[in-house]
Amino acid sequence: MSIQPQDFHTLRFVQLYNSFDPGQAIRNVQTELDIFHHENLLFPVSYNESEYHNSYICSFHTAYIDYAREELQLIKSPVQRWLLHKASYLASVWLKMAHINHSVCLNNWLFSTNPLPSLSAQEVFAITHKLVLQNPFHNLTIRSLNAKHNGELIEHLTAQGWLMLPARQVYLFPKNGDWQKRNNVKNDQRLLRKTALTLLQPQEHCKADFKEIEQCFHRLFIDKHSQFNPQYSAQYLWMLHRQNLMEFFSFRDSAGRILATLGVFTENGVMTAPIVGYDTHAQKKLGLYRLVIAQLCKLAMERQLDLNLSSGAGEFKRNRGGEATMEYTALYCRHLPFKQRWLLHSFSKLLNRYAPKLFTENQI
């Protein structure tokens, strides 16, 4: 097997995560991480048994039950909200009976979004076959699929028996897209140029900065949104920076405090931002979220890369030209006992019937 430059990226990531004790890198994640290789392709792969209290990035029960319950507040109809809340308890029993968390997840970088490479039908067949042989009692999963970036891959997976489970609605900003001409985007870039805050480039960060970076992320994604988002430690974020696995850009005030931060992850030609955070108690006139997104958009434009801005803040992202699209989790269970297959297939049918419309109408 010849090692390609991107493969060293994968090797460094897996080695880094495994250098931490369980729960130290990401406080609410318990998983085994290893490398899966097929010919000249290397992927990080996570292994789980049950771990129902994990973050959604490696617990599908958390993603579809616990996190979903918190998202019910976004449902506009009170009746629909009440019905879904009651149904979630039945779904929880259903998924536990199906051993949903007894899972092997391919290409899991333990981020909210994991960009995937293009794979031929032959590669999909070979990878599926190899994973089944190595993991005969686990379901197989692949997160972060969308029709815009992974249309052909979705077709190959579906043709070979993988189920597509709607996961959430994400916002895409294609390179050279019309979104770059939007007034809101131009206004954000103007704010970026005129802000009194100091923009720290990746090489200007020191280890001490990462405690404040952790706090900024925690205040936005954990305190303001959900405890089920991954709770990255300052030490882990620092090491991601040191190993050049993530680029950090931060905004510092005149007193030397980091008020906002951005962690950029680029893989397979797609730029994402797993780390976005700011001091939610700071003055709103600073426009901290706008600054962070403006810097991210600036990078995408300069580097001519597609940008996946993940989910949430739907109105904000649409106003800047974000294209809403459904994200899917692929699930393979053909090798499992009949009961598990039936439960998982039935769950997939229910999701595909109701979830896309629900996500679209309520901007989830």
Same domain flag for 150 and 254:
no
Q: Does 313 lie in the same domain as 225?
A: yes
**CATH number, domain containing residue 230:** 3.40.630.30
pLDDT at 6: 58
Position 2 scores a pLDDT of 47
| Same-domain pairing of 337 and 302 | no
Question: Do residues 158 and 191 share a domain?
Answer: no
**For 219-264, what is each residue's pLDDT tens digit?**
999 999 999 999 999 999 999 999 999 999 999 999 999 999 999 9
Distance CA 67, CA 361 (A): 18
Are 249 and 344 contained in the same domain?
no
> Quick one: 204 and 261 in the same domain?
yes
The confidence score (pLDDT) of residue 227 equals 94
Low-confidence spans in the chain with pLDDT less than 50: 1-3
Domain enclosing residue 106, as ranges: 5-170+326-362
Domain count, the chain: 2
User: How confident is the model at residue 1, as a pLDDT?
Assistant: 46
- 244 and 159 housed in the same domain: no
**Is residue 263 domain-shared with residue 147, that is, in the same domain?**
no
**One-character DSSP codes across 250-274:** EEE-TTS-EEEEEEEEEETTEEEEE
Same-domain pairing of 278 and 337:
no
pLDDT at 262: 98
The long-range contacts involving 186-190, CB below 8 angstroms and separated by at least 24 positions, are 188/290, 188/291, 188/293, 188/294, 188/297, 188/320, 189/294, 189/297, 189/298
Q: Are residues 60 and 89 in the same domain?
A: yes
List helix spans (H) across the chain. Answer: 5-18, 60-61, 67-71, 78-97, 121-134, 147-159, 183-194, 209-217, 234-242, 288-303, 314-319, 338-362
Note the pLDDT of residue 40.
86
The residues near 299 (Cβ < 8 Å, ≥ 6 apart) are: 249, 264, 271, 305
10 Å CB burial of residue 216 (0-12, 13-18, 19+) is buried
What is residue 4's predicted lDDT score, i.e. its pLDDT? 52
pLDDT, residue 342, reads 98
Q: pTM of the prediction?
A: 0.94
17 and 133 assigned to the same domain = yes
| 93 lies in the same domain as 235 | no
